[in-house]
């Protein structure tokens, strides 16, 4: 894996863990559904941001290396497969 | 909040916390980007499932009550606002 | 079907048809991929907006009627099934 | 723009135009909301498929060329910006 800011991603994931615990607490306390849904949406956004940072690293690392060595076909194929999941 | 299976949601969120820690570990260990992205997508799916369970409870609880008492306009408005975020 | 502004939805769909033809023209003219992708994203946004208007009508029409007559279980079930597709 | 199967994409977009007209007809005929929503979801899926084909061409064309000539930074940056829209 090649990412610009591994520490930054670790911090985001730590914060996200806290968000998930926060959502669990809201459920436990029977908080208003819409407020819980908004927190779930915020957690999804945080996950998407981490995904984009990993994608950036992948493009600048593995994909770049594969293209430079002429072996990009399988690497692009698997990248499109994971993008298919994210986009749909 | 009104949900059919509060304990089930709590378990899902506990598992999701573990998934987030798992993703952090993969980043820490420089695991292959595509594998990390697939785990992030799985965590998003788990969040979506919790959201749907909360939505079910909201429709069967708050939305139903509001319609029965003729005060559904603001409740439907805020439901559509949160659905707008989830759908987009 | 019960929607507030049927004509407005018809106009949105007419415009969307034009957007799709526009995307086809861009592909035909070998326009830059990123520009085409941005137009596709805009068309998805337009589709989502129509979906939300239909959802609004459904909540204020069919779901409301079903709750008033005490027959909401199957109606809420199928609503959650379609929301599952949109959210994921 | 570099895509493997330009004609195939043109056909998909032509079919999608027909899907949009079909949705408009369903709205005109006051068809059941859930059926209309399912058609909208299917049209979104068709748009996503076209986006993935364009993305494939972009990776194998513009991104590859930029990496080969050492000018990938701006190309990867704009790719991540459009992916950010699709993923969120």
**Between chains, do A61 and B33 touch, taking CB under 8 Å as contact?**
yes
Q: What is the mean pLDDT of each run of 10 residues along chain C (88 residues)?
A: 85 98 97 97 97 97 96 96 92
pLDDT tier for residue D1 given thresholds of 50, 70 and 90: low
pLDDT over 70 percentage in chain B: 98
ipTM greater than 0.85 = yes
pLDDT at A88: 77
**What is the arithmetic mean of pLDDT over B73-85?**
96
D-chain residues near C23 (CB < 8 A): 13, 50
Provide the shortest C-alpha distance from residue C23 to chain B (in Å). 20
Instruction: Tell me which chain A residues have a C-beta less than 8 angstroms from the C-beta of D45.
Output: 88
Mutate to test the interface with D, among A82, A83, A85, A86 (most CBs of D within 10 A): A83
Provide CB contacts within 8 A for B78, sequence distance 6+. Answer: A34
Is the pLDDT assigned to residue A66 strictly greater than 70? yes
B67: which chain C residues are within 8 Å (Cβ-Cβ)? Answer: 63-64, 67-68
- State the alpha helices, DSSP H only, in D1-88: 6-28, 33-58, 64-68, 72-87
The partner residue sitting opposite C68, judged by closest CB among B52, B67, B80, is B67
Nearest C-alpha in A relative to D79? A56
Question: Looking at the partner chain, which of D51, D52, D88 has a beta carbon nearest the beta carbon of A45?
Answer: D88
- The tens digit of pLDDT for each residue in B12-44 reads 999 999 999 999 999 999 999 999 999 999 999
SS (H, E, C) B31-60: CCHHHHHHHHHHHHHHHHHHHHHHHHHHHH
Are C44 and D48 an interchain contact pair (Cβ–Cβ within 8 Å)? yes
Query: Does the beta carbon of D37 lie under 8 angstroms from any beta carbon of chain A?
Result: no
Tell me whether C47 touches chain D (CB under 8 Å): yes
Whether D5 and chain C come into contact, CB under 8 Å, resolves to no
The pLDDT assigned to C3 comes to: 75
Three-state DSSP class for residue D13: helix
Mutate to test the interface with D, among C19, C32, C36 (most CBs of D within 10 A): C36
Enumerate the domain spans of chain B: 6-87
- Mean per-residue pLDDT, D4-19: 95
Cα–Cα nearest to C36, from D68, B74, D58: D58
Residue C58 to residue A56: CA distance in whole angstroms: 41
DSSP string, C59-78: IIIIIHHHHHTT-HHHHHHH
| Residue B1: pLDDT over 70 | no
What is the SS3 assignment for B82?
helix
What chains are in contact with D, requiring at least 3 Cβ pairs below 8 Å? A, C
| Domain B6-87 sits in CATH 1.20.58.1000 | yes
D37-69: per-residue pLDDT in tens? 999 999 999 999 999 999 999 999 999 999 999
């Amino acid at each position: 894996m090649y990412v610009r800011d591994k520490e930054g991603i670790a911090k985001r994931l730590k914060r996200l863990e806290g968000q998930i615990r926060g959502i669990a607490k809201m459920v436990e306390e029977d908080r208003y559904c819409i407020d819980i849904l908004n927190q779930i949406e915020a957690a999804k956004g945080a996950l998407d941001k981490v995904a984009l940072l990993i994608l950036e690293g992948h493009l600048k690392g593995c994909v770049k290396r594969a293209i430079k060595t002429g072996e990009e076909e399988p690497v692009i194929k698997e990248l499109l497969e994971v993008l298919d999941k994210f986009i749909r």
